[in-house]
């Protein structure tokens, strides 16, 4: 992989990781355009590793919140008076909400890095999940805020992350949609999506790191892609939080449908191959 390709992939990752348009789907399409083998295990691993740049952006952007929650959670382990606080409970919520994707992601890792890398899955999921996003906004009451979160909410949103293992679904699209269907307001659902992304994407990146180190990709392009994704993702986080405060996620549906439909049409016409 060249440094230019690493920069391009880093930009795509940073722009799309937290938007409900599927970063994995966009990375797969971009890799295809660049002539990279999308079903190569090293390329699949690279996609996961550079996500850690986006996670670093989340850690920096929400540092004060994360520090407050983590402190309350740790204190609650040894001091009973902290256990009733929202921050202590929220720490447990994130842990429990992360368990489903940790288990499913590990057990289905060969499927994720193999058959699911097909552009048929990307195109179909981009179109298919758009229907869910539309339905979620249609049924959303947005009656509950962050202080109203329950363990069940976080577990259901955590399960949605498992669906997003299919490229094209979008992790943020899945988690925000389920949050809305649970009655959460858009900003709360989006913030929860950010917090749940930290352990899930960090674990995925660290697990796949071994397949990048020593591969034909090289350490240099890996570092460049990760740094670029961090810078771009930080700006994307700030923009998305402002956007969802005033706009429904259905604004992204036409783009998803056009892109997914275009991919499926090109595949059906034989213009491009699935892998």
Each residue's pLDDT tens digit, 144-197: 999 999 999 999 999 999 998 898 999 999 999 999 999 999 999 999 999 998
The percentage of the chain sitting over the pLDDT mark of 70, rounded to a whole number, equals 99
pLDDT tier for residue 217 given thresholds of 50, 70 and 90: confident
Q: Which residue has the tokens 């669906």?
A: 163
pLDDT of residue 89: 93
Q: What is the dihedral of CA 231, 52, 33, 252, to 10 degrees?
A: -70
Domain boundaries, the chain: 3-268
CA-derived radius of gyration, the chain: 18
What confidence score (pLDDT) does residue 110 get?
77
**How many other β-carbons are positioned within 10 Å of the β-carbon of residue 203?**
16
Task: Name the nearest CA neighbour of 114 among 161, 166, 164.
Answer: 166
Nearest to 101 by CA among 37, 166, 45, 183: 166
Query: Sign of torsion, CA 152 155 161 165?
Result: negative
Q: Using CA of residue 8, residue 13, residue 265, residue 252, what is the dihedral sign?
A: negative
CB atoms closer than 10 angstroms to residue 169: 29
Q: CB of 29 within 8 A of CB of 122? A: yes
CA distance 154 to 96: 7
Length of the chain: 275
pTM score, whole prediction: 0.89
Beta bridge partners of 184: 144
């Amino acid at each position: 992989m060249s440094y230019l390709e690493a920069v391009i992939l880093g930009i795509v990752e940073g722009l799309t990781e937290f938007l409900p348009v599927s970063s994995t789907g966009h990375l797969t399409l971009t890799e295809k355009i660049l002539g990279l083998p999308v079903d190569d295990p090293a390329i699949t691993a690279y996609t996961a590793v550079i996500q850690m740049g986006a996670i670093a952006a989340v850690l920096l952007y929400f540092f004060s919140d994360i520090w407050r929650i983590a402190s309350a959670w740790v204190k609650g382990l040894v001091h009973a008076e902290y256990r009733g606080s929202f921050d202590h409970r929220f720490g447990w919520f994130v842990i429990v909400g992360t368990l489903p994707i940790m288990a499913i992601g590990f057990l289905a890792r060969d499927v994720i890095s193999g058959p699911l890398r097909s552009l048929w899955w990307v195109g179909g999921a981009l179109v298919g999940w758009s229907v869910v996003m539309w339905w979620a906004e249609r049924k959303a009451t947005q009656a509950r805020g962050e202080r109203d979160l329950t363990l069940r909410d976080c577990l259901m949103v955590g399960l949605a992350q498992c669906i997003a293992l299919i490229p094209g679904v979008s992790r943020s699209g899945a988690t925000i949609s389920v949050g809305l269907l649970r009655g959460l307001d858009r900003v709360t659902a989006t913030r929860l999506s950010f917090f749940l992304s930290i352990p899930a994407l960090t674990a995925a990146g660290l697990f796949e790191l071994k397949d990048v180190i020593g591969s034909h990709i090289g350490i240099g392009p890996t570092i460049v892609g990760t740094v670029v994704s961090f810078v771009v993702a930080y700006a994307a986080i700030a923009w998305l939080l402002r956007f969802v405060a005033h706009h429904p996620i259905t604004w992204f549906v036409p783009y998803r449908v056009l892109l997914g439909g275009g991919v499926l049409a090109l595949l059906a016409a034989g213009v491009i191959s699935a892998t």
